[in-house]
Structure 1
Amino acid sequence: MKVVIMGCGRVGAALATELDATGHDVVVIDHEPRAFGRLSENFTGRTVTGTGFDRDVLEGAGIRDAHAFAAVSSGDNSNIIAARVARETFGLDRVIARIYDAGRAEVYERLGIPTVATVPWATGRLVRFITAGSSPVLWRDQTDSVSLVAIDAPKEWVGSPVDALARAAGGRAVTLTRFGEGRIPNADTLVQAQDIVHLAVPSATVGELDEVLRRGPADV
């Protein structure tokens, strides 16, 4: 798939490098040419110098043929403007923005623009959001019996107890990340849209996880 990334800071460079290494067609935009030096020496994608919310720059980066757009520069305003241009002007559905202000992030999530905060899981969530369907496994024990997985809350489970989702997956809920903040779910915690749920599940069931959760709580 083709991915356009605005911003070549630490997160943008890490995201571009990981996507490029797994065979995706990656274009990185940054207004500072020296920023591209953060990319891996093995990076095979394309770089574009310019302002990432400028329509001509986005056109030059091939936004019309892109499957996803990530705005991960160091400025909240730039990221949101770019994300809105990508979605509203160029009609891209898979758009995500990095936001430093957690309060603003919540507002934009409710407006339908997924965001990531400046925390260690940012790159991981970006990759999962962009590639949608790649392996959710974050860790496996030495015997490969138990896996820790991170899943974006399935729409079928929004409003249902996190514990019920975990049981359907055959495991237990370990943590929940909501608007960039981690928490330990309890029996009363309900799944919300844009949550990231970390589950401990049998490794043998990981391949069927997406299909099982898509059935929703009615089939549990």
Structure 2
Amino acid sequence: MYILIIGCGRTGSYLANLLSKEEENVVVIDKDATSFEELSAEFTGFTVEGDATEIEVLKDAKLAKADSVVVTTDDDNVNAMIAQIASELYQVPKVLVRVLDSQKEVIYKELDVITMTPTSLLVDKFKDEIVRSV
């Protein structure tokens, strides 16, 4: 599988390291080359320094070949733009997006993408634990 991760912060680097360890083909894009320091010494994938909202950067990362794209930048508007490019222009089979502001989740309703909102996931988990302990 060819997986493209956009954003190499805590979430993106953790996922990239995990997938690399499982011997998946992983490419990580980030605007800041120092972000790649978060990747482990065992990381076997590739890195692309650049702005993923630019088509040339996405072409360099071979977006057209991707089986999955995971967008984890800290900017919901950037994430929405990249998700739309991956889903609609490149027809990537699976696009997953981190949405920081749960109110912005509505932006993705028309797109064929999977959204993950950390706050909602955490609240759901807390609620499940509370209900289970009663």
* Shorter-normalised TM range: 0.7 to 0.9
Larger Rg: 1
Query: Could you list the per-position Cα deviations for residues 163-188 of structure 1 after superposition, in whole angstroms to 9, with x for gaps in the alignment?
Result: xxxxxxxxxxxxxxxx534044xxxx
Tell me the residue number matched to 1:110. 109
1:161-180 equivalences under 5 Å are 179-180=120-121
Residue pair 2:4, 2:63 contacting (<8 A) in 1 also: yes
**CA shift for structure 1 position 109:** 5.0
Aligned amino acid, residue 87 of structure 1? S
Runs of 4 or more, structure 1, over 4 Å off, are none
1:1-220 equivalences under 5 Å are 1-105=1-105, 107-111=106-110, 112-118=112-118, 179-180=120-121, 181-182=123-124, 183-184=127-128
Aligned amino acid, residue 57 of structure 1? V
- Segments of 5+ residues of structure 1 without an aligned counterpart are 120-178, 185-220
| Number of equivalent positions | 124
Residue pair 2:72, 2:79 contacting (<8 A) in 1 also: yes
Tell me the residue number matched to 1:209. none
**CA shift for structure 1 position 94:** 0.2
Query: Could you list the per-position Cα deviations for residues 37-75 of structure 1 after superposition, in whole angstroms to 9, with x for gaps in the alignment?
Result: 000111010000001121111110011111000110111
SS of the residue corresponding to residue 118 of structure 2 reads coil
Q: RMSD of the TM alignment (CA)?
A: 1.4
SS of the residue corresponding to residue 11 of structure 2 reads helix
**CA shift for structure 1 position 89:** 1.1
Query: Could you list the per-position Cα deviations for residues 10-36 of structure 1 after superposition, in whole angstroms to 9, with x for gaps in the alignment?
Result: 000000000110010000000000000
TM-score of the pair, normalised by structure 1: 0.54
- Segments of 5+ residues of structure 2 without an aligned counterpart are 129-134
Paired with 1:115 and 1:104, the residues of 2 have a C-alpha distance of 10
Paired with 2:13 and 2:32, the residues of 1 have a C-alpha distance of 13
SS of the residue corresponding to residue 3 of structure 2 reads strand
Paired with 1:64 and 1:44, the residues of 2 have a C-alpha distance of 21
Residue pair 1:6, 1:29 contacting (<8 A) in 2 also: yes
Tell me the residue number matched to 1:137. none
Tell me the residue number matched to 2:131. none
SS of the residue corresponding to residue 115 of structure 1 reads strand
Paired with 1:12 and 1:36, the residues of 2 have a C-alpha distance of 10
Residue pair 1:108, 1:114 contacting (<8 A) in 2 also: no
Paired with 2:65 and 2:107, the residues of 1 have a C-alpha distance of 25
Paired with 1:96 and 1:53, the residues of 2 have a C-alpha distance of 16
Residue pair 2:94, 2:113 contacting (<8 A) in 1 also: no
